[in-house]
Structure 1
Amino acid sequence: MPLEEINCNSVNKNRDNNMQHTKQFYIVTFLLSLLLIACHSNSQQASARTSKSNFKGTPITTPPMPLVYDTMAPQNREIIAQLDKFYAAQVRAGFNGNVLIGYKGHIIYERAYGYSNRERKIPLGPNSSCQLASVTKTFTGAAILYLHQHKHLDIDQPVTAYIKDFPYPNITLRMLLDHRSGLPDYTKWVPNYNSDQRTPIYNDEMLRLMTKNRPHLEFKADTRFTYCNTNYAVLAKVIEVVTEMKYSDFMTQYIFQPLGMMHTFVYDPAKGLPGDAAISYRYNWVREPDMFADGVYGDKGIYSTPEDMYRWDQSFYRNTLLNPETIDLAYGPCSFERPGVKNYGLGWRMLCFPNGNKVIYHNGWWHGNNTSFYRLIKDNFTIVVLGNKFNKSIYRHAGAICNIVRGTSADGTTDGEE
């Protein structure tokens, strides 16, 4: 073979090899670039997940309260027998729900009546989470006051200090807390601007519709009281802005878990209910479907159990989340804006009697869920009734229970006002 041919073949082979190596080099380099980009992207995403919020709240350091039962004392056995008789009559009249009664830090009565899921014959139990409806406001209000107490916000600042495009500049956080804002209820005006009544919306969408359409105020801010769900939906958004956390994440991390409320959560219709949560039923056992307002939280949306609610109740006696000064702020002052003893604090309904005694409570009603959370704070006497089948008589249970437990009538029995 001619030398030239050998050299040529050799050159061609070397060139082919070099080209092959070059191709391989570029392929490897390209793949490594993709890998580096992917790693960098994942690193950024991980960083975003871990540094999404720079909020550094003051965590609860007190251990969760152990539940203490006192059902064996002779006087309590008699009370239990009378309560069982009372609730047997309530069940015959249609009551379906959970009941817990605490007295001076001890649980003296706890019962579950009926179904969590009637179609599957799943009974209610101590861990069956029920929709609290407007009792959720006690959590949203306390969360705002916690942030106020630790100087992350100021309740006397306008909402626009936290939500820049909020369309009503003269409304403060305090006016939202005590329902003196004049805002119209979103459950009534959103349908005017949103034709889809079935798909749940969330707080951001509600606020977008409010900013765009500016529904008329019902009255000039801070001139009178009118109970309004919009107030607490806006407060939930303020919590998110201040903490840079989702409302559900903040509540879980700073309230539910530290207090040992392991069966309490914020409902998200996109995720649905966990298996141990109670289904909402109409009076005739027809399920209540989700609708547009079910994604909005802060005014409602928290699910809990009676035992978790008792932990929540007792946390105020132990100053676990809020200090005494902030709790006094929440419970008053009582302005007696209407004739009688009824009033509203910052997140709580109140019955304020001339002798200085107070009943701190909140009721709830959303779809088929009726709830009553009734606290006679002078005696550390708590009544929790969580119903998941519509039954308005739940709001009248407190008076009968007071008669049974204390042997005297309780002044200011709730009348079903939600």
Structure 2
Amino acid sequence: MNWLYPSRLKIMVMCLISLILASCLQNKSSAKDTTITASQLEMIDVSVKQYCDAMVFFGTIYITSVDKVVYEYHCGPQNMQYNVDNTVKSKYRIGSNTKAFAAAILMRMLEGKDLRVETVGDYLPWYPKNQCADVTLHNLLAMSSGIPNYSDNEEVYNNWGWRPYLYDETLNLNGPEGFGNRFCTCEEQGGQPSFTQGSKYEYSNCNYYLVGNIIEQLAAGTQGDIDRSFWFSNILKEQILDPLDMSDSGSFSAIGIYSDMTTGYIYKDNQYLPLANGRPPATGGPAPYQDILVNPYSNPLVLYSAGDMYSTVEDMHKWDQGLYTNKILNEAQKLAAFAPYSNTGSSSSCEYYGYGWFVTYIDPNQYGKVADCPDDPSETNLRKYEKFLQYSGSYPYSWVTSFNRLLERDQNVMVFSNYVKTGTESDCIAEEIRNIIFYSDKHRTEACQTVLDEA
């Protein structure tokens, strides 16, 4: 009867194979379908056109899925004076989206170093020998340093942000006489961080200004005055823009001439206009833009590695796709860059700050802020939620660029604007698009409805 054993073995193997196949088929059939449907695209189109038709948004909306563009819409003028409309080639100043580029460059240059140990003082010997020199590079990148935000300093607006020159070759952004050493050294708060570093989140542009200083001096191998070839703008081009063929992107210079650069516009009653300090913009544009003013001049040198970049939606799609490969960051670096560190304390979402990114967790099965969102993300298993990265880069006072990477879907939502009425329009559109993708409902907030009602 031994001949039965091979038959039984054969039957058992066949049964096992059947079970495996059934399991695979079951998993495949129950896997989450992340396709953006025709119905969702129709809802997105309706929402977008409401903001465009109300003339509270000028700009470009660009949605991608892997390497395909699934939705594209443009509205409003790229330049009123010359009657040029926004297009896919329009260049926008992307503001704080620059920070993700700066973080990536620093991680590349310090590969193998422990950023939780390396300090500001290790790389900037000209920095005052105070407690802020002991701030780690991790806490710089994670917005948990306690170093003050130069954007809150009135002197920056009075004497730097609106400085009455276009360019000054003698202006030193680095070294003992540089901007960072004037406004990012904690001297005005007794030479110490405003809180114990790493203990909480507090947004500060100084963090990423100092990151730029460190990048330049790492590249130059010297301290203080450095050759132009080692300026942040050139390192950015060499390290990221050229490898990703982002030929329509760069650091904005006041003396540059840029084809397809958007002109910035601001509503005449915008709350931020008084910050122009006696330099109001010209009168409004032609009908129907009588109440819309050209952006008052702001000095891009003040923004530097914290926010002076410009780009197009096409180039930013290359950036998005490049981050799914190891061309810019390796797997370990991406894991570190996209990790949640400092809880931002958002009342509406479970949001942390990573390295140059806001890291948000949602429950795709239930709209609203997730219940489990601790200050210390290591205390919970956030992997049960879906994670996406986003930044709403603002460039005073007319450009807002919302860049959203839906990581688990390989999708991206870009809402780039060159007009600020209240400053929330781009974020409203981006949030509604994300909600439609996640929940098939825009879930428009009262604040966003008010923007439309008061148009």
Verify same fold: TM over 0.5.
Answer: yes
Partner of 1:304: 311
Partner of 2:432: 400
Partner of 1:259: 244
Quickly say closer, same or farther: Cα 1:122–1:324, change in 2 above 3 A: same
Q: How far 1:336 sits from its partner (Å)?
A: 4.4
Partner of 1:343: 352
Quickly say closer, same or farther: Cα 1:90–1:208, change in 2 above 3 A: same
C-alpha distance in structure 2 between counterparts of 1:110 and 1:350, whole Å: 25
Q: Give the alignment's Cα RMSD to 1 decimal.
A: 2.9
- Describe the SS at the equivalent of 2:409: coil
Q: Which amino acid in the other structure matches residue 139 of structure 1?
A: F
C-alpha distance in structure 2 between counterparts of 1:338 and 1:75, whole Å: 31
C-alpha distance in structure 2 between counterparts of 1:181 and 1:248, whole Å: 25
Quickly say closer, same or farther: Cα 1:411–1:186, change in 2 above 3 A: same
Task: Check conservation: 1:189, 1:215, Cα contact below 8 A.
Answer: no
Partner of 1:214: 187
Bigger mean CA deviation after superposition, 387-396 or 228-237 = 387-396
Quickly say closer, same or farther: Cα 1:187–1:203, change in 2 above 3 A: farther
- Describe the SS at the equivalent of 1:399: helix
- Describe the SS at the equivalent of 2:69: strand
- Describe the SS at the equivalent of 1:225: coil
Task: Check conservation: 1:96, 1:389, Cα contact below 8 A.
Answer: yes
Quickly say closer, same or farther: Cα 1:376–1:412, change in 2 above 3 A: farther
C-alpha distance in structure 2 between counterparts of 1:233 and 1:359, whole Å: 25
Partner of 2:336: 329
Task: Check conservation: 2:215, 2:232, Cα contact below 8 A.
Answer: yes
Q: Which amino acid in the other structure matches residue 188 of structure 2?
A: P
Q: Which runs of 5+ in 1 are unaligned?
A: 1-73
Task: Check conservation: 1:179, 1:231, Cα contact below 8 A.
Answer: yes
- Describe the SS at the equivalent of 2:133: coil
Partner of 1:52: none
Task: Check conservation: 1:132, 1:300, Cα contact below 8 A.
Answer: yes
- Describe the SS at the equivalent of 1:282: strand
Task: Check conservation: 2:341, 2:354, Cα contact below 8 A.
Answer: yes
User: Of residues 68, 71, 82 in structure 2, which corresponds to 1:120?
Assistant: 82
C-alpha distance in structure 2 between counterparts of 1:202 and 1:289, whole Å: 24
**How many residues of Structure 1 are paired with residues of Structure 2 in the alignment?**
340
TM-score, normalization: structure 1?
0.74
Q: Give aligned-pair identity as a percent.
A: 24
C-alpha distance in structure 2 between counterparts of 1:188 and 1:78, whole Å: 44
User: Of residues 414, 417, 427 in structure 2, which corresponds to 1:387?
Assistant: 417
- Describe the SS at the equivalent of 1:218: coil
User: Of residues 219, 231, 239 in structure 2, which corresponds to 1:246?
Assistant: 231
Q: How far 1:338 sits from its partner (Å)?
A: 3.7
The yes-or-no answer on 1:198 pairing with 2:162 is yes
Task: Check conservation: 2:340, 2:359, Cα contact below 8 A.
Answer: no
Q: How far 1:189 sits from its partner (Å)?
A: 2.3
Quickly say closer, same or farther: Cα 1:320–1:410, change in 2 above 3 A: farther
- Describe the SS at the equivalent of 2:202: coil
Partner of 1:10: none
User: Of residues 348, 368, 371 in structure 1, which corresponds to 2:398?
Assistant: 368
Task: Check conservation: 2:295, 2:398, Cα contact below 8 A.
Answer: yes
- Describe the SS at the equivalent of 1:209: helix
Q: Which runs of 5+ in 2 are unaligned?
A: 1-34, 166-170, 221-229, 268-290, 363-381, 449-455
Deviations 1:148-180 (A, max 9, x none): 2266x8563111111112122211111110011
- Describe the SS at the equivalent of 1:286: strand
Task: Check conservation: 2:344, 2:353, Cα contact below 8 A.
Answer: no
Quickly say closer, same or farther: Cα 1:243–1:154, change in 2 above 3 A: farther
- Describe the SS at the equivalent of 1:240: helix
Task: Check conservation: 2:99, 2:307, Cα contact below 8 A.
Answer: yes
Quickly say closer, same or farther: Cα 1:350–1:126, change in 2 above 3 A: same
Task: Check conservation: 1:402, 1:408, Cα contact below 8 A.
Answer: no
Deviations 1:184-223 (A, max 9, x none): 1112226079746521776333123247882224323222
Partner of 2:272: none
Q: How does 1:15-30 map to 2 (within 5 A)?
A: none
Q: Which amino acid in the other structure matches residue 260 of structure 2?
A: D
The yes-or-no answer on 1:289 pairing with 2:250 is no
- Describe the SS at the equivalent of 1:329: helix
C-alpha distance in structure 2 between counterparts of 1:215 and 1:85, whole Å: 50
C-alpha distance in structure 2 between counterparts of 1:104 and 1:221, whole Å: 38
Q: Which amino acid in the other structure matches residue 226 of structure 1?
A: E
Q: Which amino acid in the other structure matches residue 133 of structure 2?
A: P
Deviations 1:21-56 (A, max 9, x none): xxxxxxxxxxxxxxxxxxxxxxxxxxxxxxxxxxxx
Task: Check conservation: 1:402, 1:409, Cα contact below 8 A.
Answer: no
Deviations 1:354-398 (A, max 9, x none): 424211111122211111111111111210111010141211223
Quickly say closer, same or farther: Cα 1:124–1:213, change in 2 above 3 A: same
TM-score, normalization: structure 2?
0.68
Task: Check conservation: 1:343, 1:349, Cα contact below 8 A.
Answer: yes
